[in-house]
Amino acid sequence: MKPCNQHDGRRGFLKKSASIAALYFTPTSLVKTFAMDAIVPLPIAKEKLAITINGQLMNLEIDARTTLLNLLREDLSYTGTKKGCEMGQCGACTIHINGKRTKSCVQLALSNQNNKITTIEGLSDGVNLHPMQAAFLKNDAFQCGYCTSGQIMSAVACVREGNANSRKSIQAYMDTNICRCGAYQNIVDAIEEVAKTGAKI
Amino acid sequence: MKSNNYNTIFLEDERVDGADKVNGKAKYTAEHNLPNLAYAVFVTSTIAKGTIKSIDTSKALAMPGVLDIIYYGNCPVVPGYISNAAERPKNVFEWRGHKVLYDNIVRFFGQPIALVVADTFENANAAVRFVKTDYQAEKFETNFNKARLIPANLKSTVNYKRGTEKKFKETNFFVEAEYNIPIEVHNAMELFATIAHWEAEDKVTLYDKTQGPKSTQSTIAKTFGLPDKNVRVIAENVGGGFGSALRSWSNVPAACIAAKKLKRPVKLVLTRPQMFTLVGYRPQSWQKIGLGADAAGNFIGISHEAISNTSRYEDFREGIVNVSKFLYACENVDTKYSVLPLDLSTPIWMRGPGEATGCFALESAIDELSYKLKMDPIQLRIKNFTTVNPENKLPFSDINIKDCYAYGMEKIGWKNRPSIPGTIKENGWLIGYGMSVGVFGAGKGSASVRIVLSNDGKLLLECAVSDMGPGTTTSMTMIAAEAMQMPIQKIKFKLGDSDLPPGPSQGGSGTTSTVGSAVDLACKTVQQKLKELAIQYAPPFASTTADALEVKNEMVVLKKDANTKIDISTLFKLANQEKIDLTINSNGKNAEQLKYTSNSFSAHFVKLGVNAKDGTIKVLNVVTTGDAGKIISPKTARSQMLGGVVGGIGMALTEKVDIDQLTGQIINASFGAYHVPLHSQAPPTDVWFVNKPDMNMNEIGAKGIGEIALIGFAAALANAVYNATGKRVRDLPITPEKLGYKTAKA
């Protein structure tokens, strides 16, 4: 994507995204009560997005309404990142955006112009498991495995951010990630184990 | 915790399928990509009861990418939707439950009334809002507490009576009280999803979130009038179920209908709010328990009454009053159980099912009685211990619950428990100890397993069971490794596909026993074949009998002389064959096993603090113990018990569905408002198993633990709260308000 139209594209998108977001997230009841007939569906233009995913730069044309999570899962087949609630409440979709842990379900993909994304698929070197992945496996820090990608992405950030100093601190920083199978104790064990090695992860 | 039964074979004890779950490669239902896939989203009702006067789809249909909007007005005929048996083809069964997209009747708030199908998820989702519906609303009832008081509302009452009249009510040692549990929702992390792909007019492949690929296959075959073999159900990885995926819900036929109508694969994924209304829940319940004992603590009688809610269109019942009939020695028992239809969707078993509900009441009542008797509650339980099930008079195949008591008492520090409640205060926290027992039936059903031993020494096992998280793949691999005396690395257990030999649905703590017994039998059959091949083709064994041989380390060996041996690949060469490939059927309990009654047992111990100022409850320590025969896979078994504790904390302290009685809508249908336990709410937990094989039960000596991990836990916690505060809370979840504290205003 050329830098010159990036500016326009972004502004144009912001303009549109306000109305799109209003449409997309308006509670059903409101739409029904006030404006069902007044709302006119907008023609959905494809928007350009330059984004780096697991080290690979991608120039994409995407639906402006696509969340980052759906872009990953539906359009690009990075299905390691999970959809658990689409409300930013469960943490199954946690990824790293420019190194910061973020819930990808409450991000429009287009708001990630030129961002660097790391998903669970990009955490390891492709041959060996990342130390956090290995620790999760060793400590049986999951059962069904569905929240696991998000837990691991959060866990890596928890250590990198320096929040893995005590079990209590780990728990507080991992409260963003729900595990319905209840593997919490083993997850904290795994994080503690990695943190104690002092290795840069 | 290490099992003693395994030694050198198991150098690794990690989940055999674990690497793919930590690196994101494991594929769950919605993650299968098919060419030309269309996306479907439900439009759901905004009234609780009534009829739809009209649905205007014109505006939505005109939106970009929308392919179709299916509703009662244009839904193709589904053979299984036909109510009149005479009009239904012979091979078709009537669909059980809500016939989605079929009629204009609304039975609960949030019911699917139309299905938008579009080329992308975004286009489908955007169109949902433009489907305009006019309703004729009717008066509805979703208020359990109100409706249960009117006897005419109750139905399907079942009574049980043992012994004489309730004389025990006249004794001095009698407690009677009512217990309430709200609706709780499984809320597995993976959203329910179905991808339907019709490969031909009469042949469909489904990727579906199910705990039973075979059961889904049969349901869809019988609904659409197809032979079973023309329906393939794939559920390779299941992201949690907890009982909710034990039947096919409306998402399955809806995806099938859409895919067939549009002649292209359709993916339908539920939303988190829809997970509260469309895929079952633990029913709301009311119970009343009366428990009387003599001065020495011997139980004289138990009366246990229960009501749980169901929907208007289906009866759902579970084992709420069952535990009172058999867990303790007691001559006189009365139970009564009814269901209460409400204008809600149908409930389903949720982890621990009815037994968890029943145990909360029974085990709370026993605790209450112990104070009245001035007796230690564990001693009271031991006093009424029985090795014979008083309901069916059969001996338990094994029962070691007293070992669980001993371990738990020691580890939780039971000796520090105050005999008078509310007497220990540390740094502003009232400290209390509590315990309770859990019990669940241990069954063994029939299953088939295909076993293939190749000349490269690799062993493949296949069964159409699923693994929603407990680690079935791992434990089955371990059973095979032990039976074959070979390394787990050489064994692959394949599941999650209805094309594989039939296995049970994963539920009711039966998978390890049922499929494990089949795996064990399959391995033993292969060993027998190997011995026969050795005798027939390998000269050193020519004059031996199969009894004199054993199979281990991928060799057939003469028991008396370990130097007389032949490895499998050489043996296959001699016999001129490449593999052994058999499908083995394993049956339910045999006559000898049927002489016993089998259960898994658990005892949970809780130490907690209640903040004296604001009533905050902090669980300090948990010891959870299981008596479930041999523990096949110690690591994953421990994880299941840890998960039971976390689930139990949710049941006891945080989880409750709130219904707005003015609209019939669940108003906290999200993780933000329906609180499942988080990291910081998981207490330090010690897990322990008796780990003694129960050989009266099945050939592998193992019983299930998924249910007992949770059953009883809520009572242990409530009993600890009483011990800490002197306040008995009988309505779950236990909150500071119920302990008499005012809620802090934000």
pTM: 0.94
Residue with tokens 């069904």: A144
Residue B112, preceding bond cis, omega within 30 degrees? no
* Higher-scoring residue by pLDDT: A155, B746: A155
Report the pLDDT value the prediction gives residue B170, as an integer from 0 to 100: 75
Token readout for B659 is 């219904």
Q: Do B638 and A66 touch (CB under 8 A)?
A: no
For B149, which DSSP code?
Answer: T
CATH homologous superfamily of A3-122: Beta-grasp domain (3.10.20.30)
E strand or H helix that includes residue A32: none
For B686-700, how does the pLDDT look when each residue is reduced to its tens digit (9 = 90+)?
Answer: 999 999 999 999 999
d(CA A142, CA B636): 9
B640 at the A interface (CB within 8 A)? yes
Q: How confident is the prediction along chain A (201 residues), in pLDDT tens digits per residue?
A: 333 333 333 333 333 333 444 444 444 443 333 444 555 555 677 899 999 999 999 999 999 999 999 999 999 999 999 999 999 999 999 999 999 999 999 999 999 999 999 999 999 988 899 999 999 999 999 999 999 999 999 999 999 999 999 999 999 999 999 999 999 999 999 999 999 999 899
For B42-57, how does the pLDDT look when each residue is reduced to its tens digit (9 = 90+)?
Answer: 999 999 999 999 999 9
Report residue B9's pLDDT band, with 50, 70 and 90 as the boundaries: very low
Say whether pLDDT at B672 is over 60: yes
Chain B residue numbers with beta carbons less than 8 Å from the beta carbon of A131 are: none
For A57-85, how does the pLDDT look when each residue is reduced to its tens digit (9 = 90+)?
Answer: 999 999 999 999 999 999 999 999 999 99
Report the pLDDT value the prediction gives residue A4, as an integer from 0 to 100: 33
Q: Do B126 and A138 touch (CB under 8 A)?
A: no
d(CA B271, CA A105): 12
For B377-425, how does the pLDDT look when each residue is reduced to its tens digit (9 = 90+)?
Answer: 999 999 999 999 999 999 999 999 999 999 999 999 999 999 999 999 9
B64 at the A interface (CB within 8 A)? yes
Least confident of A33-37, A137-141, B95-99, B234-238: A33-37
Phi then psi for residue B105, to 5 deg, are: -90, 135
Q: Do B471 and A143 touch (CB under 8 A)?
A: yes
Report the pLDDT value the prediction gives residue B171, as an integer from 0 to 100: 80
- Which residues are registered as beta bridge partners of A101? A96
- Residues 676-705 on B with a CB inside 8 Å of A are 676-680, 682, 684-685
With contact defined as beta carbons under 8 Å apart, do B302 and B171 qualify?
no
One-character DSSP codes across B49-82? SEEEEEEE-HHHHTSTTEEEEEETTTPPP-GGG-
d(CA B428, CA B377): 26
Averaged pLDDT score across all residues of chain B: 95
d(CA B722, CA B720): 5
Which residue from B21, B638, B470, B642 is spatially nearest to A137, judged by alpha carbons?
Answer: B21
- Residues 37-56 on B with a CB inside 8 Å of A are 46
Least confident of A34-48, B191-205, B291-305, B717-731: A34-48
Strands (E), A7-166: 46-53, 56-63, 94-97, 100-103, 116-118
Q: Do B190 and A82 touch (CB under 8 A)?
A: yes
Report the pLDDT value the prediction gives residue A124, as an integer from 0 to 100: 92
Distance of CA B124 to the CA centre of its chain: 33
For B102-118, how does the pLDDT look when each residue is reduced to its tens digit (9 = 90+)?
Answer: 999 999 999 999 999 99
Q: Convert A86-119 to b/e letters by CB count within 10 Å (16 or more is b).
A: bebbbbbbbbbbeeebbbbbbbbbbebbebbbbb
Report the pLDDT value the prediction gives residue B745, as an integer from 0 to 100: 54
Report residue B13's pLDDT band, with 50, 70 and 90 as the boundaries: confident
With contact defined as beta carbons under 8 Å apart, do B701 and A196 qualify?
no
Domain boundaries, chain A: 3-122, 131-197
- Chain A with chain B: Cβ pairs closer than 8 A: 203
Report the pLDDT value the prediction gives residue A43, as an integer from 0 to 100: 62
Task: Give the number of other CB atoms < 10 A from CB of residue B251.
Answer: 26
Average pLDDT, stretch B478-507?
96
B126 at the A interface (CB within 8 A)? yes
Residues contacting B651, CB < 8 A, separation 6+: B181, B184, B356, B360, B710, B713, B714, B732, B733
Report residue B343's pLDDT band, with 50, 70 and 90 as the boundaries: very high
A77 at the B interface (CB within 8 A)? yes
Report residue B172's pLDDT band, with 50, 70 and 90 as the boundaries: confident
Say whether pLDDT at B720 is over 50: yes
ipTM: 0.96
Domains located in chain B, CATH noted? 18-25+444-588 (3.30.365.10), 32-138+187-275 (3.30.365.10), 285-443+594-739 (3.30.365.10)
Q: Do B679 and A92 touch (CB under 8 A)?
A: no
The CATH code for residues A131-197 is: 1.10.150.120
d(CA B219, CA B555): 44
A1 at the B interface (CB within 8 A)? no
For residue B60, give how far its alpha carbon lies from the nearest alpha carbon of chain A (Å).
Answer: 9
For residue A6, give how far its alpha carbon lies from the nearest alpha carbon of chain B (Å).
Answer: 23
Say whether pLDDT at B232 is over 50: yes
Say whether pLDDT at B166 is over 80: no
Average pLDDT, stretch B450-477?
96
Q: Do A31 and B129 touch (CB under 8 A)?
A: yes
A157 at the B interface (CB within 8 A)? no
Give the up-direction half-sphere exposure of residue B230: CA atoms within 13 A in the CB hemisphere: 14
